[in-house]
A and B are shown apart, each in its own frame.
Chain A
Amino acid sequence: MSEKAIRGQWVKIHTIILNPSQRAPSVPEDTSKCPLEMWLNGFLDQDEATIGEECVIKTVIGRSVQGTLTQIEPKYEHSFGKPIQELLEIGPKVREFIEQGDSDER
């Protein structure tokens, strides 16, 4: 991944919305120690920007938003997870149960 984004490239920016001292009085203690942060994707709207630099993006609906460049061409990392043994055993066991009943059935 290049460290420098060019105009029009799809990037992610980050900003702090509220510092810990500015947070609502109602938030729990652990949360109140953290800032309220924001992430947003859009097209870089200046000639170039380096990771960590302040920059301006244009979002997909055309809004101009300023923030710190954190990722160039950000991708989704969520997945289907790994095989879960406990889940894999459910299907065969329940089919067997429908056909034969379980051991505690009288």
Chain B
Amino acid sequence: MRDNSYANVMSRKNEIMKQAVGIDYSKYEIEGIAFDYEKMMAEVGYSLEEVTTIQRETSVGNTPLVELKQINKLIKRISPTGKGARIFLKDEAANPSGSFKDRRAAVSVYEAQKHGYKGVIAATSGNYGAAVASQAAKRGLKCIIVQETFDSQGKGQPEIVEKARACEAYGAEVIQLSVGPELFYYFLILLEQTGFFNASLYTPFGIAGVETLGSELNRQMIEKTGKSPDYVVVTHAGGGNLTGTARGLKKAGATQTKIIAASVDLSGLHMASDRDFNRKSFTTGHTGFGIPFATFPDRSDVPRNAARALRYMDRYLLVTQGETFYVTELLAQLEGMQRGPAGNTSLCAAISLARELDADQTVVVQETEYTGAGKCPSAQLSFAGQNGIIVRTGNPEDNLPGTQIVLPCSPRQIHYTEMDMHKIKTSYVKQAVKNYDKTHFSDTEIAFMAQDLNITEQAVQEMLASIK
């Protein structure tokens, strides 16, 4: 009988992971913080063509790109003359399980099947669970999804409960846990006991799967407008959506397209807090994941995270919960598309951004997700009310995560807040100092950080000096 104490299981982490993802990450290690990211992506991942073939096998991708004509009319109305860019929406809800996560799951489950694993496991409270369950069903593999679902009162987050229902509908076993990062501990035990494949969100397979989203939307934009999009806005959480989309755009030749991250501002709420758990009205696409994963990507469930958002992120815009609920209504009422909430975070930022851009410019919001019980705004706002959160109409600047959700009175009130990229990149360097427990980094490590942050080595040195 194995010793399954917390400390003991955690100490077996690398051994368990090697077995469960079939990647020898040590091959890509260089020194300290530095590893060969592109070599890992090239050797372990798949090419765009290969991913497209894999995804076609299980009907993933090729989703419609929709011009939001009514919303664009509204934007023109609230923009200065000559301003008001056109927004296009990539309707990823058209994927088999209802979100872009099918792209990631398709490649991971393919990889699991190819190497003879009998089943797949994913630790996720989001759409990714449904995606893995759906893809596993299509390829005849067993599937376990591990979710953080309930607080200590046994009260479930409706959005997560809905995802459990979806996973069970696709034939997966759904393990539901109370709040806490030790979910990972139990996840390791399950991997060891079952010998299943870890369909992590953060392997090169998962990221390669999203690259087709970038290349597809670029092709569709050229067909519709004659050029690549000027801006692509990506709802940002763990960083895989942004990394994969940006890489796909680059591979497709859209080198001038600006990559804009968007998250719901949940500052002040602690992600591992039992008390705060059900005071969040968004379960993903928020700063609680977006900032930690951008500034320390290797916190994920694999030794080296293939999602490295700061390599590709040009700007990072925050919106409030109230504004995003408002925009979700606009999408339903003006465009006849009931979707979200996840993709609507980026739509919200895009509406605000479009007002500042020239009328001949284009913005792509690159995902939607299926909605329904537990996920739609009335479900989330009813739940917020039950948890003592005030819901009202007013000035969105009065939004206070976990306390007050303020829906705008007018579309004019939708305004993103710009995050300071220099500050975020400095946080990354601070995290490096903390996690590697040193202030002196070798030239190789500095060069790696410069690539990871898309800045010069000189700039990394200056950030290090400012921390010391």
A-to-B contact residues, CB < 8 Å? 17-18, 22-24, 26-28, 30-31, 34-42, 59-63, 76-84, 86-87, 89-91, 93-95, 97-98, 101-102, 104
Cross-chain contact B144 with A81 (CB below 8 angstroms) = no
Q: Please, how many angstroms separate the alpha-carbon atoms of A91 and B182 in the complex? A: 43
Known contacts A81-B376, A102-B412; A76/B274 CB under 8 A: no
Cross-chain contact A23 with B180 (CB below 8 angstroms) = yes
B-to-A contact residues, CB < 8 Å? 5-6, 70, 73-74, 77, 119, 142-144, 149-150, 152, 156, 158, 161-162, 164-165, 168, 171-183, 185-186, 194, 270, 272-275, 325-326, 329-330, 332-334, 372-374, 376-383, 391-393, 407, 409-412
CB distance from B144 to the nearest CB of A (A): 7
Known contacts A86-B392, A101-B77; A36/B180 CB under 8 A: yes
Q: Please, how many angstroms separate the alpha-carbon atoms of A22 and B305 in the complex? A: 28
Residues of B within 8 A of A93 (CB): 409-410
Q: Please, how many angstroms separate the alpha-carbon atoms of A73 and B352 in the complex? A: 47
Q: Please, how many angstroms separate the alpha-carbon atoms of A97 and B377 in the complex? A: 22
Residues of A within 8 A of B165 (CB): 76, 78
Cross-chain contact A76 with B161 (CB below 8 angstroms) = yes
Q: Please, how many angstroms separate the alpha-carbon atoms of A28 and B270 in the complex? A: 8
CB distance from B73 to the nearest CB of A (A): 6
Residues of B within 8 A of A77 (CB): 161
Cross-chain contact B393 with A86 (CB below 8 angstroms) = yes
Residues of B within 8 A of A39 (CB): 149-150, 175-177
Cross-chain contact B177 with A36 (CB below 8 angstroms) = yes
Residues of A within 8 A of B181 (CB): 24, 26-27
Cross-chain contact B6 with A60 (CB below 8 angstroms) = no
* A99 and chain B: residue at smallest CB distance: B77
Q: Please, how many angstroms separate the alpha-carbon atoms of A70 and B176 in the complex? A: 14
Cross-chain contact B382 with A84 (CB below 8 angstroms) = yes
Q: Please, how many angstroms separate the alpha-carbon atoms of A55 and B391 in the complex? A: 43
- Can you list 30 contacts pairing A with B, beta carbon distance less than 8 Å? A17-B182, A24-B185, A26-B181, A28-B270, A28-B272, A30-B274, A34-B152, A36-B177, A37-B152, A39-B150, A39-B176, A40-B173, A40-B174, A41-B168, A41-B174, A59-B173, A60-B168, A61-B173, A79-B382, A80-B372, A84-B377, A87-B378, A87-B381, A94-B333, A95-B334, A97-B411, A98-B74, A98-B77, A102-B410, A104-B412
* B4 and chain A: residue at smallest CB distance: A17
* B73 and chain A: residue at smallest CB distance: A98
Known contacts A38-B175, A63-B173; A24/B329 CB under 8 A: no
Q: Please, how many angstroms separate the alpha-carbon atoms of A83 and B144 in the complex? A: 35
Residues of A within 8 A of B275 (CB): 30
Q: Please, how many angstroms separate the alpha-carbon atoms of A87 and B408 in the complex? A: 10
CB distance from A28 to the nearest CB of B (A): 5
Q: Please, how many angstroms separate the alpha-carbon atoms of A30 and B5 in the complex? A: 22
Cross-chain contact A81 with B177 (CB below 8 angstroms) = no
Query: Can you list the 8 inter-chain pairs with the closest CB atoms, starting with the nearest?
Result: A81-B382, A91-B333, A78-B374, A34-B152, A81-B379, A81-B378, A90-B329, A61-B142
